[in-house]
Amino acid sequence: MTVLSTQISCADSTWNPATGCTKVSAGCDHCYAEAIARRFFGGFDLTLHPERLAQVTRFKPVERDGRRYPRLVFVNSMSDLWHRDIPDAFLDRVFDTIAGRPDAIFQILTKRPQRMLAYALARWRDAGVPANVWLGVSVEDNRVRRRIDDLRRLKAAAGDFTAYVNCEPLIGPVDGMDLTGIDWVLIGGESGPGARPVEARWVRQAIAGARAVGAPVWFKQWGRWQHNPLWPQAQGRTVRARRDDLVGRGLERMPQEHGGATLDGAVIQEFPASYHAAADRLTGQAAAA
């Protein structure tokens, strides 16, 4: 696999300079990357792909409605960039490459924030984390909320970069999260075979936590149609018929997402301020050129 057209609604592209991983917490139980890797590539062992570093030349800005936006590149959708088996020397090459593409934004999400913290402090303590590197942690439920602390520690020590929390797959309460200093909160129910149901009250907890600190929210999906709180109202004999009924009656407005993504009649898809600022800069540069 090389650069994929992404199905992640809050990213434009994916980039996998490494693939393969090992599980660290309950959020990994139904890892889609593992399922894909085992099905199509015969295994999920950690593998470095230095030949893919050159792919960043493709990550040109996105044009929409006469404006230029930095391409949002989700890094290592098929792995965790901070996995212990990815050597520092390879991380150096990844981030040297990223530094050469300042007009794109690289989203790096992890369940291993301690490695992220150690590497980032060694590399960026003085200079600060670059503006085009967004660092995030996964918080699938309260049990792993401490991951946010490492992100916050890094912000305190290495600059005001864009820090985000991804509550996906949301599989339990998240009312214990402290989101102070966090710039963006993403939320999503689990999809795929055996997906665990997400409860609307957990989604609301994550949103309330974000609102309490003024962080924008992106609610991605309910995960499965059967887990959409509108489902009991749906009429029809098949999943497709019931989905079409909800969409036809205007109750669900995001049928393209797994299980829909409407909450209390609203679609919540907000970007952090840094994204809009980067788009302003790019659009201004294009106009001046």
The answer to the question of residue 196 lying near ligand SF4 (CB under 6 A) is no
Out of 23, 201, 211, 276, the only residue in the binding site for ligand SF4 (CB under 6 A) is 23
Of 3, 4, 8, 24, the one binding ligand SF4 (CB under 6 A) is 24
First to last CA, the chain: 36
Stretch that binds ligand SF4, among 6-14, 28-36, 144-152, 209-217 (CB under 6 A): 28-36
Nearest residue (CB) to ligand SF4, 30 versus 67: 30
**Considering the complex, what minimum distance in angstroms separates the CB of residue 276 from ligand SF4?**
29
User: Which stretch of DSSP H or E encloses residue 106?
Assistant: strand 104-110
Q: Does 205 contact ligand SF4 by CB under 6 A?
A: no
Mask: binding to ligand SF4, 34-73, rule CB under 6 A, as x and -?
A: x---------------------------------------
Rule CB under 6 A: choose which of 71, 75, 80, 231 binds ligand SF4.
80
110 has which bridge partners? 137
Check the CA dihedral 56-58-59-61 and report its sign. positive
Residues 256-275 that bind ligand SF4 (CB under 6 A): none
CB nearer ligand SF4, residue 167 or residue 263: 167
Amino acid residing at 87? P
The stretch near ligand SF4 (CB under 6 A) out of 16-24, 92-100, 172-180, 245-253 is 16-24
Nearest-5° angle of CA 115, CA 21, CA 94?
55
Residue selected from 10, 11, 18, 31 as contacting ligand SF4 according to rule CB under 6 A: 31
Residue 191 contacts ligand SF4 per CB under 6 A: no
Q: Which of 111, 147, 155, 196 binds ligand SF4 (CB under 6 A)?
A: 111
Q: Which of 10, 11, 18, 21 binds ligand SF4 (CB under 6 A)?
A: 21
By CB under 6 A, residue 201 contacts ligand SF4:
no
Residues 101, 56: contact at Cβ < 8 Å? yes
CB count within 10 Å of CB 275 equals: 20
C-alpha separations of 281 from 2, 10, 71, 108, 212 in Å:
29, 20, 13, 22, 29
The reply to whether 140 sits near ligand SF4 by the rule CB under 6 A is: no
- Give the pairing type, strands 184-188 and 163-167: parallel
DSSP calls for 70-93: -EEEEE-TTB-TT-TTS-HHHHHH
Q: What is the largest CA-CA distance in the chain?
A: 61
Tell me which amino acid residue 279 is.
A
1 vs 41: CA distance, rounded Å:
9
Chain residues that interact with ligand SF4, rule: CB under 6 A: 21, 23-24, 28, 31, 33-34, 79-80, 111
